[in-house]
Amino acid sequence: MRNQFWLAGGLFVALFVAAECRSAEPLFNPKKGDKVVLIGNTLAERMQYFNHFETLLHQQASDKELVVRNLGWSGDTINLRLRSKDFPDHGHTLLHHQPDTILAFFGFNESFAGPEGVEQFEADLAKFLADLKALKYPVSTIERGSTDAYEQDGPGEAGKTPHIILISPIANENLADRNIRAADLNNANLELYTKAMQKVAEANGVGFVDLFTPTKPLLAKKGNLTTNGCHLTEEGYEHLATILHKALIGSEYAAEPQSNLRDAIAEKNLQHFYDYRAVNGYYIYGGRKAPFGVVNFPAEFEKLRKMVTVRDQRVWDIAQGKSVSETIDDSSTGDFVAVETNFKNEVYITPPEEALKAFTLPEGFEISLWASEKDYPELENPVQFAFDA
């Protein structure tokens, strides 16, 4: 009996120690070469404009050579993400990116439904997590001339299940000098939706980071860390980077952030933005992609994506303390495709002297040349001229 007691006691201790070890594991523990994708609302999108969080990520895990892509889009919710027609054909669904870890920033836009919307939010979020586990990130869009949204899903089931971490909204702050009362109006609802996110995350076995609780006293004490009460300034994102990084890794990163690393990350993210958020996608992959978009654009975006990969390597090299050249070598990314014009008429630009002779002037008037592209080459091929008469 005594042996059985000690055996049972030993088993209890072993289970307790194992549980303690599991709880001590960091929420985010990537392997070398893992791909991390950020999705969600304005909080996520604006992170790439300042890059404080990603700098800490690469600096702390410099040997991991992480691939980080920001797919955040202002205004996104778990149920509605407006995109141009046929956006998934552009190659930026979760199935295309195949992330190992998804950081999903939601809850702020949904919180405007108030307390009565919490139950529906929990149900929608549970369904959303099921889709994310299959790497499906459905996109709702509204075609031109229509007010009815429809869904554009990814191509199908994924070959792997990503590690999902839900990120709560931050708290809001009051800006008394501008009569902005965002904290008074929104924080009660934001707290409700943060707790709802935690509840759903635990029920579905995914990670969760509470940004609301630590940012509420920070914003109240520090002040002026947002542009409008809810969207962070650069200083605000600097504080957020530390909070989020500690929540994911489990400890603060003590070293001073590398400015040259942050510059390299900004350049990489800018080129990715040009691809992911290409201007006027309706002509690139949407309803007006034919007849020219399907010819001109594919090679350009293929080159652009290779340029982003080159910049990934540059980020890793700097994070690892390797020397890099001042200029970025894109010679391996291919050439730009020459686009032939479909305008076949001969173009004749009248020289200034000849143009002066062509004027018919009333008696007593004369005309003189003030500036020409011969004297000022910057005037060639203007997009717009404005005259102050």
Q: Is the pLDDT of residue 2 over 70?
A: no
- CATH number, domain with residue 66: 3.40.50.1110
Above 50 in pLDDT, residue 328?
yes
Cis peptide before 291 (omega within 30 of 0): yes
Confidence of residue 148 (pLDDT cuts 50, 70, 90): confident
What confidence score (pLDDT) does residue 5 get?
40
Residue 94, number of CB atoms within 10 A of its CB: 22
Per-residue DSSP letter, 232: B
Residue-wise over 296-312: b if at least 16 C-beta within 10 A, else e? ebeebbeebeebbebbb
Pairing outcome for strands 67-70 and 35-40: parallel
381 confidence band (pLDDT: 50, 70, 90): confident
* Cα atoms found within 13 Å of the Cα of residue 364, Cβ hemisphere only: 0
- Who contacts 124 (Cβ-Cβ below 8 Å, separation ≥6)? 78, 79, 110
What's the pLDDT band for 160 if we cut at 50, 70, 90? Answer: confident
Task: Report the b/e string of 35-49 with b at 16+ CB within 10 A.
Answer: bbbbbbbbbbbbbbe
* In the predicted structure, residue 16 carries a pLDDT above the cut 90: no
pLDDT bucket at 24, cuts 50 / 70 / 90: low
111 pLDDT band, cuts 50/70/90, is very high
pLDDT of 156 above 90? no
Q: What gap in Å lies between CA 85 and CA 59, rounded to an integer?
A: 38
* Percent of the chain whose pLDDT exceeds 70: 93
- Structure confidence by residue, pLDDT tens digits, 250-275: 887 767 878 999 999 999 999 999 99
389: pLDDT confidence band, cut at 50, 70 and 90?
low
User: Is 187 part of a structural domain of the chain?
Assistant: yes
Domain count, the chain: 1
Q: Which amino acid is at 314?
A: R
For residue 72, is pLDDT > 80? yes
- Looking from the CA of 308 toward its CB, the CA atoms found within 13 Å total 18
Greater confidence (372 vs 116) lies with 116
DSSP 163: E
Does a structural domain hold residue 243? yes
Q: Which residue has the tokens 């399907």?
A: 294
Q: Which range (27-36, 181-190, 247-256) has the least confidence?
A: 247-256
pLDDT surpassing 50 at residue 7 = no
Q: How far is CA 92 from CA 87, 234, 288, in A?
A: 8, 27, 19
Amino acid residing at 50: F
Question: Does residue 370 lie within any of the structural domains?
Answer: no
**pTM for the model:** 0.85
Q: Name the strand (E) or helix (H) holding 185.
A: helix 182-204
In a domain, 377, yes or no: no
Q: Where are the beta strands (DSSP E) in 199-291?
A: 207-209
pLDDT at 8: 46
93 neighbors 152 (Cβ within 8 angstroms): no
Mean predicted confidence (pLDDT) in 81-101 = 93
In a domain, 378, yes or no: no
Q: Give the domain range for residue 253.
A: 29-333
For residues 137 and 95, give the distance between their C-alpha atoms in angstroms, rounded to a whole number. 8
